[in-house]
A = this chain, B = another copy of it.
Amino acid sequence: MDRSEPSSTARTSRRERLKQEREKRILDAAAMVFARNGYHRTTIRDIARQADVADGTIYNYFDSKFDLLVALMAQLADLDRMPADLFAARDQDMHDFVLTAFAERMERIEQGEEMLKAILPQVFVHEDLRERFYQQYVLRIATLLEPYIQGQVESGHVRPVDVSLVTRLVQGMFVGLLVLRILGDQPLRNQWDEVPKLLATLLLDGLRGEGGA
């Protein structure tokens, strides 16, 4: 489609594209080296080398080293947008929906692992990042999940639990699994794909056998 555009526009857009590509290259490089060595042990030069640009060039795209983190977080937010079809599935059977939602979540975590590893340590330390992360990673799904569970409670499919707290626990679970992954827990990593099913079972039906205690 670009082919049909006038040359001047094309040239501009090519430049534009080059710029965006370069920006992405820098950001990817930052994610990689941050994830590998941590934010503080990473120098601008490390990133520049990895992105194959000069040190100074990075400052044509990002205001500061910290700004790279913020940009990574934004990129993560993009990746992390809850897909529309999940909304649509809300009316399915509860178990199916929960399973789908969990599986989707686990996959996101897996995909974003590197970025998360790059960002997370700084999240604990930096007020601004912490707030963003909390809003985006914790609250976003909470606001989806909470009304859903609330509805299930009201319709009697679920015990009359403290919905807000349950939501926190589910959130916490995913955060915890992410952390365990980053910490290198091998068993978890190996069985990552089986987690959603087990999780759904536990959440909905508990550990005790159907016959119950």
Cβ of A164 under 8 Å from chain B:
yes
Copy tally for this chain in the complex stands at 4
- B residues less than 8 Å from A194 (CB atoms): 162, 165
Per-residue interface assignment for chain A, residues 109 to 144, with 1 indicating a CB less than 8 Å from any chain B CB and 0 otherwise: 000000001001111111000100110001000000
Q: Which residues of B contact A176 (CB under 8 A)?
A: 171-177, 179
Q: Does A29 contact B (CB under 8 A)?
A: no
Q: Contact between B124 and A182 (Cβ–Cβ < 8 Å)?
A: yes
Q: For residue A34, which residue of chain B has the nearest CB? A: B125
Are B208 and A204 touching (Cβ within 8 A)? yes
Establish whether residues A162 and B188, one from each chain, have CB atoms under 8 Å apart when the complex forms.
Answer: no
Task: Check if A44 is an interface residue, CB within 8 A of chain B.
Answer: no
Decide if A3 is an interface residue (CB 8 Å cutoff).
no
Instruction: Quote the shortest CB–CB distance from A73 to chain B (angstroms).
Output: 14
Indicate which residue in B40, B204, B206 contacts A40 across the interface (CB closer than 8 Å).
B40
Q: Which residues of B contact A120 (CB under 8 A)?
A: 121, 124
Contact, CB under 8 Å: B185 / A138: yes
For residue A169, CB closer than 8 A to chain B, the reply is yes
Q: Which residues of B contact A168 (CB under 8 A)?
A: 177, 180, 185, 187-188
Tell me if A210 is interfacial: C-beta within 8 Å of chain B. yes
Decide yes or no whether A53 CB sits under 8 A from chain B: no
User: Which 9 residue pairs of A and B lie closest in terms of their CB atoms, listed nearest first?
Assistant: A176-B176, A206-B206, A38-B125, A172-B176, A205-B206, A175-B176, A121-B121, A121-B124, A172-B177
Q: Which residues of A contact B (CB under 8 A)?
A: 37-41, 94-95, 117, 120-126, 130, 133-134, 138, 149, 152, 156-159, 161-162, 164-166, 168-169, 171-177, 179-180, 182-185, 187-188, 191, 194-195, 198-199, 201-210, 212-213
Beyond the given pairs A124-B183, A134-B183, A138-B180, 13 more chain A to chain B contacts, judged by CB atoms under 8 angstroms and listed by A's residue number, are: A94-B213, A121-B125, A133-B183, A162-B198, A166-B202, A168-B180, A169-B177, A169-B198, A171-B176, A175-B176, A202-B202, A203-B207, A205-B212
